[in-house]
Amino acid sequence: MHKYKNISDPVIRRLPRYYRFLGELLDKGVERISSRELSDKMGFTASQIRQDLNCFGGFGQQGYGYCVKSLYNEIAHILGLDHSYKAILIGAGNLGRAVATHMSFEKRGFKLIGIFDNDKNKIGQTIRDIQVSDLDNLEQFCTENKTDVAIFCVPKTATPEIAERLHKLGIKNYWNFSHYDLAVHYDDIIVENVHLNDSLMTLCYKISDANDKPEDEQ
């Protein structure tokens, strides 16, 4: 049960960064750190960091700073990383293969238990010690293996039909790499989107905008 409620979305989105940085400090044997030092390393202002971490109670001590290990563990608990949510990945193409092999699911609160595709050439292949299953077996697999999360690495056009099948199975947590906006179509789901095309277009805007500015504005 979480001790903390009503944490704002921007704070939540900063938590993984705090967690990563504190993890690095732990690896280096750092036991405590001031908000100013954290600020220098993370690019947030010291007051921002104090505000954020105050959401979770009094980790900081005047003149002492933060105990790295307890703050690290607390943020891990807040993020729910001590869970092991069972995840399946849909789509064993380049992107799905990269996500499956690249991510440390176990360290992020998840366990990858299945990979699915409808391509006969991919079915049976082994990715990260998991054999790619036929998408036709999705219902049977998810019924036999209580599945919490689905990861969409399929083209946008393939997403609606698969989402409908998963939703019927009661699987309502999605990590969505497809450009199909699931949240528009279902109001009872949890979805985290990774829209690479949107990210690339945002970069294009930033570059164009900077180049369009006169020198004295740059």
Q: What is the DSSP string of 40-96?
A: HHHSS-HHHHHHHHHTT----BTTTBEEHHHHHHHHHHHHTTT--EEEEEE--SHHH
Map the footprint of its own copies across residues 2-21, applying CB under 8 A. Answer: 2, 12-13, 15-17, 19-20
Q: Give the long-range contacts of residues 182-191, CB within 8 A, separation 24 or more.
A: 182/152, 185/160
51, 54, 83, 145: which one binds its own copies (CB under 8 A): 83
Map the footprint of its own copies across residues 132-191, applying CB under 8 A. Answer: 148-149, 173, 175, 179, 181, 183-184, 190
What one-letter code names the amino acid at 109? Answer: G
36, 41, 146, 168: which one binds its own copies (CB under 8 A): 41
Of residues 68 and 154, the one with the C-beta less far from its own copies: 154
**3-state class (DSSP) for residue 188:** coil
What b/e readout covers 105-127, taking b as 16+ CB neighbours within 10 angstroms? Answer: beebbbebbbbbbbeeebbeeeb
Map the footprint of its own copies across residues 45-74, applying CB under 8 A. Answer: none
Q: Is 199 an interacting residue with respect to its own copies (CB under 8 A)?
A: yes
33, 90, 99, 138: which one binds its own copies (CB under 8 A): 99
To its own copies, the closest distance from the beta carbon of 43 in angstroms equals 4
Q: Label residue 26 exposed, middle or buried (CB < 10 Å: 0-12, 13-18, 19+).
A: middle
Q: Would you tell me which residues interact with its own copies (CB under 8 A)?
A: 1-2, 12-13, 15-17, 19-20, 41-43, 78-81, 83, 85, 93-95, 97-99, 101-105, 108-110, 148-149, 173, 175, 179, 181, 183-184, 190, 192, 194-210, 212
